[in-house]
Structure 1
Amino acid sequence: MNKQIESIPNPYHSSGESIKENTDTAYNFHKTLPGYLPTPLLNLKHFAQKIGIKDCYIKDESQRLGLNAFKVLGASYAMAEEIKKHIPKGQSNLSFESIKSHKKSIKDLTFVTATDGNHGRAVAWCAEQYGCRAVVFMPKGTAEIRLKTILEHKAEAEITDLNYDETVKYAETEAIKNDWVLLQDSSWPGYTEVAKNIMLGYTTMVQEFFEQTSDWPTHVIAQAGVGSFAASIFSSFIRSDKQKPKFILLEPSGAACFFNSVKIGDKKPHLTPNLNTMMAGLSCGMPSILAWDIIVSITDFFTICEDNIAIKGMQILSQPLQGDPLIISGRAEQSP
């Protein structure tokens, strides 16, 4: 039988692995960015009542720094940490103004990344704001409008003939060849520091959540491509002294690298080939090793859904029940 939604419990669940670094540094840095404001925390109260729960909170990242996506939280902080290595020693407080004060030192510093869209746009925006250079490679099938939005931030960008995972490898090769800094939102053996800082950047979203409500969730659902975002969000909640929520990792059925890896049964991440989903931002074949270690440790359920379920979710948010807020979602995730 073809299941539109399928969920399996985590056979490796423990209480150990999480992000151990102080997340306040990233949060305080984000507050210095031009135009920074916490994104709205919205409650679909009437929808929650309809499905028999008390509240359904959603962080509306469509209002994040004019980029319509959370990815800039990771890119901005990780890029800032890399820039610190290229400016005079003694800069203790990392801030947007401290970076701008060293613009002559970093004007030729080039960051390169592979992207399905939002991460690359975030890298391009950050480089433009900080005064660096950005080079962005995009996988085959990427919509031209996504390329256009990246080029608008003065980055060099192109659509390759490679799939996502191959494009990541290509970006890594170009970084080594040209002495560029690879700013990728995934990790693998030998490449973890930048990915860790990107994950720390994502934790700002939960820091905002803590300040926006005194309610404590019973369940936290996060989507996964390579898993960096979900690992960051889950880790932020587990650091609290309050009761741990149930963590649910959600992937497209046609790009379920975590779900498929768990089902293999050896507690190792595996490549999922032949990706097939309209959820382009989640169409990743290989889990980040940093995210994998965290997610298999603390996630409660691995869940997958068909593309039509994502479409239904977008419709629910854009055509809310009377009294619930309207939320525009999925535009950056859906391929043409």
Structure 2
Amino acid sequence: MSQFSLKMDVADNQFFTGKTSEVFSRKESQKARAFHSQLAGYTPTPLHSLTALAGLLGVRNILVKDESKRFGLNAFKMLGGAYAIVRLLCEKYDVNLASTSFEKLKNSIAEKMTFATTTDGNHGRGVAWAAQQLGQNAIVYMPKGSAQERVEHIRSLGAVCEVTDMNYDDTVRLTMKNAAEKGWVIVQDTAWEGYTQIPTWIMQGYGTMADEAIEQIEQAGSGAPTHVFLQCGVGAMAAGVLGCLLDAYGPDKLHSVLVEPELANCLFRSGVAGEPVNVGGAMATIMAGLACGEPNPLGWPLLRNCAHQFISCEDKVAALGMRVLGNPLGDDPRIISGESGAVGAGVLAAILHHPQREKLMQKLKLDASSVVLLLSTEGDTDVKHYREVVWEGRHQAGEIK
């Protein structure tokens, strides 16, 4: 088998305590899932077993949760935005969450509202979808360099979508300013002083993925995961999912690894420092969904306490993951995974081909007994770029030796 070396910096978490969170827990994830399960078209997304790839790498199994199948939106993000909007409206109109639906809420709304958000594409699409279902307005801002296909997906749901000339974090600040001036409701998955409730609900909504995966693993009898690799932007998804998983498996038994692009590695740097560290600049990574430079302060304590390791990697790692998942080994199922969704698989594939493979395996505590859980959080939400990577060889792994 060929060898090549991709850049992956791995940092151990010196601040690990194992302290979990009542806010991001399996109980809250199950509450969110109970709501999602009432929506038309709901079904748990597939959990695939990549046994052939696992055998080649030298682990017991690799499990991949495929979020490209979520409500026909090709990504997981609607789980958070829709849940937060519903929680907001239930409080506003004194509606019982446990017995509500989009149609009931739609009939309760006395006057039209406008939901505003910043997105790389998937979160905004989820907010636009929920607003459309409820007969409300949505305005979505996207950072500089956003893919036109993602813009059109949002506009097709009836939302206003504008691309700025700023990075993600500065675009969030623009959204805040405009919303304050115009009376819009911000639906954002990061938090700041005075804005915590809605992002908390969004993060709890993401826990539906984890609760489904726990149930699917139990039903399959494949054994509890020993590792989970979670990709991070601001860390909202990672915290919402990890909190649920830790309740099921325990912080000392589930080896959790957070993965980021090196051009937007705020959580990697925060993990090394033991406190939040922001990253600025263009953050021009292909992993658009992870191009965020400021950790979510709500999720950070859980990630600091319970993540075992942080990885900062180059874009070629994500591209490799896209190719490996889309071109499976043996009888492994084919998974269409976008740039942000594939980076966890890319890390495993990069280890497989690395000249120091055994050293990396030992550092990440991967061995023949390991069961690794990955979340492919998006499909080919930018089809043009997906084809450029998978068919045309953009962001190649490097010279083969």
* TM band (smaller chain): over 0.9
Contact 1:281 1:333 in 2 (8 A): no
Give the count of matched residue pairs: 331
Find the counterpart in structure 2 of residue 93 from structure 1. 98
CA distance in 2, matches of 1:164, 1:241: 34
Structure of greater relative contact order (alpha carbons < 8 Å, 6+ residues apart): 2
In the alignment, structure 1 segments of 5+ residues that lack a partner are none
Counterpart of 2:381 in structure 1 is: 332
Contact 1:280–1:335 under 8 Å retained in 2:
no
Counterparts of 1:97 and 1:312, CA distance in 2: 40
The equivalent residue for 1:76 is 82
Equivalent residue runs for 1:35-114 within 5 Å: 35-87=41-93, 89=94, 91=96, 93-97=98-102, 99-100=104-105, 102=107, 104-106=109-111, 108-114=112-118
Matches within 5 A, 1:203-282: 203-214=207-218, 215-240=223-248, 244-263=253-272, 265=273, 267-274=274-281, 275-282=283-290
Specify the alignment match of 2:361 in structure 1: none
2:74 maps to a residue whose letter is N
1-structure distance, mates of 2:249, 2:166: 45
From 293, 314, 323, the counterpart of 1:306: 314
Change (3 A) 1:170 1:286: same
- Cα distance in 2 for residues equivalent to 1:72 and 1:305: 27
Supply the distance in 2 between the matched residues of 1:65 and 1:90 (Cα, whole angstroms): 24
Q: Which of 69-78 and 20-29 deviates more?
A: 20-29
1:161, distance to aligned residue in structure 2 (A): 1.4
Checking the alignment, whether the CA contact within 8 Å between 1:172 and 1:182 is kept in structure 2 is yes
> Is 1:286 paired with 2:291?
no
The answer as to whether partners of 1:248 and 1:303 remain within 8 angstroms in 2 is yes
1:143, 1:335 within 8 Å by CA — same for their partners in 2? Answer: no
Provide the TM-score with structure 1 as the length reference.
0.93
User: What's 2:162 paired with?
Assistant: 158
Post-superposition CA distance 1:110-134 (Å, at most 9, x none): 1100011000001001110122111
Q: Following the alignment from structure 2 to structure 1, what is the Cα–Cα distance between the partners of residues 289 and 122?
A: 8
Residues 1:302 and 1:335: Cα distance change in structure 2 (over 3 Å): farther
Query: Structure 2: 5+ residue runs without aligned partners?
Result: 339-379, 386-401
Find the aligned partners of 1:46 and 1:95 in 2 and give their Cα distance: 44
- Tell which deviates more after alignment, 93-102 or 252-261: 93-102
CA distance in 2, matches of 1:103, 1:148: 30
Report sequence identity in percent.
Answer: 38
Superposed displacement of residue 254, structure 1: 1.2
Runs of 4+ in 1 over 4 A off after TM superposition: 333-336
2:12 aligned with 1:5: no
User: How far is the alpha carbon of 1:95 from its aligned partner?
Assistant: 2.8
What's the offset of the Cα at 1:188? 2.0
Mean Cα deviation higher: 194-203 or 233-242: 233-242
Q: Does the 8 Å contact 1:78/1:198 carry over to 2?
A: yes
Please give the root-mean-square deviation of Cα atoms over the aligned residues, in Å.
Answer: 1.9
Query: Which of 302, 315, 319 is residue 327 of structure 2 equivalent to?
Result: 319
Q: How many angstroms apart in 1 are the aligned matches of 2:70 and 2:249?
A: 29
